[in-house]
Structure formats: structure tokens, C-alpha cells
Amino acid sequence: MSKKVVTLGEIMLRLSTPDFKRFVQADTFDITYGGGEANVAAALCNYGLQGTFVSKVPNNAIGQSAINHLRRYGVDTQFLARGGDRLGIYFLETGASMRASQVIYDRAGASIAEVDASEFDFDKIFEGAAWFHTTGITPALSDKAAALTLAALKAAKAKGITTSIDLNFRKKLWTKEKAREVMTTICEHVDVCIGNEEDADLCLGFKAANTDVTKGELNLDGFKDVFKQMKEKFGFKFIASSLRESHSASDNGWSALVYDGTDFYHTKQYEVRIVDRVGSGDSFASGLIYGLVTGMPMADAAEFGVAASALKHTIPGDLNHATLSDVKDLMKGDGSGRVQR
């Protein structure tokens, strides 16, 4: 079994306000690095797989700092391209109780947006790989980034590698019309599709009936109908969605639904007290991928993914630092939070 998983996307500098402060209050920022696909690669390394991250970063000290951050957690960065003007930045104000978190992007003109597919040797990148993962964030950055995403998916499929995408619609990056135009083409080359109810609607035009995320309510029958439509149109092997019941910015219900074209599986639901929810979807994706790559049945892979991402809600930063044993213990029911001595 190959343990190599390739991911492609943008890594950004994250500047977050400390102690739940609002932007207007803060006179310092906490610094880290992250991005959907980078987060997945790092988590997979944490579980013992080989996570290879593909991107482009500026050839300066900030770009190198981002690379060093990933290397610290075992991510293979040998295929990162260097060049362009800058590393993208995002600012995070962490919410609490009824006050929602806020994200402000400063990523226009980032190196990855000016990328060209000819800068990457996909034969070498995909050598020995079992899986390729990307998200809908990357093609939203620019037409060049969209072309790179499509080229990578085609190259992976040509080598018989399983491909996955987390739809991840970002309304601050593009319109739903543009997203549907681009993502409909991209998803023709995808085996495993991950995305919540908003993503399915805004990226692909499938809407779950009687589901309003602002009310924090779920309608599983609506999701099942959407998943069937997605399966019929694109032929995905698996379709998955994390399911968030948002009681407040501090307390959420968290579970997942997975469909293989025959059976639906709804995981256990965790009630999570949120420290940092950024990257939780990436943690679900990486956990699901880990499970499927290592041969778990669909239900077990889904349970691993939702347990891993429940733990991520308790960890500051973009990356999920939960260990394999942490996740397996939680799956067994050890969620007491008692001090381990």
C-alpha cells in the first residue's frame, strides 16, 4: 500500500487576534501558517502517511518561513515552486458565544495566483502516490490557479490515482456563477467529493431542501437527495459532508454524512466547545482520506474523520496536532478530557 498523498493549494500567513479580541482592540497578532491543502498534508503526516504539498511561494524569507513551518511537521515540500511577489495573508478575529468569527483576506497577487502548470513535473510529483487532494479554494484564486488545479487532476487520473476535492466555496474570492462554471468542469475528474450543504449549492448548484445553516439545524433527508443528484451527475465514488449544528460561535454539534452510491452513513455526533474552528473541515477531509487510504470501511473512515476534526476544534492554529492515538481513543469513547498522567 502506498502511503503517499499529494495535496495542491495555497499556504498563507495567518495573523490572528489574541484572547478573543476584536481587530480594533488588538495591538499584536499571533502568527502561524496554514491553508486548506497544506493543513491536510500536515495532518496526514501526523497519522504516519507521507504528505506531499505542492504550491508556489515567494523566494524570500516569508516564503521560506512557510516552508519551514510545514517541514517542522514532516510535510514533503520538495516540489514547491519559488517565485512571484508575495505570500497571501489572512487576518482572523476569533468569535465567542453569539459573536461570529471574522476573516479578512489580503491575498491578491499572491505567488500561487500567478502560477503556471508548466512549473511542475507531475510525473515526478505523482510517482508512487496513492491519492491526490485539492480544494475549491485554489481555482477561486485566479484563472491560472484554476488551470493548474485541472491539469493536476487530469495528471493524477491518468496515473490511476484516486482524486478528491473539498468544494470549500469562499464568497470573498468569487461568485457562485463563476464557481459553478469552473467547478463543474473540475469535478469531472474527481473520485471523492467533500463539501457541506452551502458548498454543494454554491459550487455545483445542488441544494438541500429545508436546510438553513443560520438556524443551526440539519435535514439529513435533504442531504441524501443532494448526494444522489451529485452521484448521478458526476459518478463520484464517495460523497461526504461534515455536518455542523451551530448553537453559537463557542458551541457546535459536529458529525458527518458519507455516501458510496448505495449506502448512507451518519457518524456519531460530538458536542464541541470551540477553541479554534479554522481548519476543522480540512481535518475531516484528512481523516476521511487517511481511513480510505489505509483500507478502512467507509463507516470507519467517516468516524475517524469526524473524531479527528472534533479534536481540531480544541487546538489553536490551522493545523490539527491530534495524534493517531488521540483520534482512536476518542473513537472508542474516551472524550472525558481528564488529565492523562
Residue 110, CA atoms < 13 Å, CB-side half-sphere = 26
Read off the pLDDT of each residue in 144-167 and give the average, rounded to a whole number. Answer: 98
Q: Identify the pLDDT of residue 207.
A: 82
Q: Identify the pLDDT of residue 337.
A: 59
Q: Which CATH number fits domain 4-331: 2.40.160.40, 3.40.50.300, 3.40.1190.20, 3.40.640.10?
A: 3.40.1190.20
**Each residue's pLDDT tens digit, 5-58:** 999 999 999 999 999 999 999 999 999 999 999 999 999 999 999 999 999 999
**Each residue's pLDDT tens digit, 173-196:** 999 999 999 999 999 999 999 998
Percentage with pLDDT > 70 across the chain: 94
Residue 260 has pLDDT above 90, yes or no: yes
Phi and psi angles of residue 289, each rounded to the nearest 5 degrees, phi first? -60, -45
Read off the pLDDT of each residue in 302-331 and give the average, rounded to a whole number. Answer: 96
Q: Identify the pLDDT of residue 196.
A: 84
Mean pLDDT of the chain: 93
Read off the pLDDT of each residue in 275-300 and give the average, rounded to a whole number. Answer: 96
Read off the pLDDT of each residue in 216-224 and give the average, rounded to a whole number. Answer: 78
Q: Identify the pLDDT of residue 209.
A: 63
User: How many other C-beta atoms lie within 10 A of the C-beta of residue 304?
Assistant: 27
Q: Identify the pLDDT of residue 198.
A: 86
Q: Identify the pLDDT of residue 147.
A: 97
pLDDT grade, residue 339 (50/70/90)? very low
Contacts of 94 (CB under 8 A, 6+ apart): 16, 17, 20, 101, 276
Sorted by where each begins, the domain ranges of the chain are 4-331
Task: Give which of 240, 251, 53, 223 is closest to 138, Cα–Cα.
Answer: 53
**Each residue's pLDDT tens digit, 223-235:** 899 999 999 999 9
Phi and psi angles of residue 3, each rounded to the nearest 5 degrees, phi first? -105, 10
Residue 341 has pLDDT above 50, yes or no: no
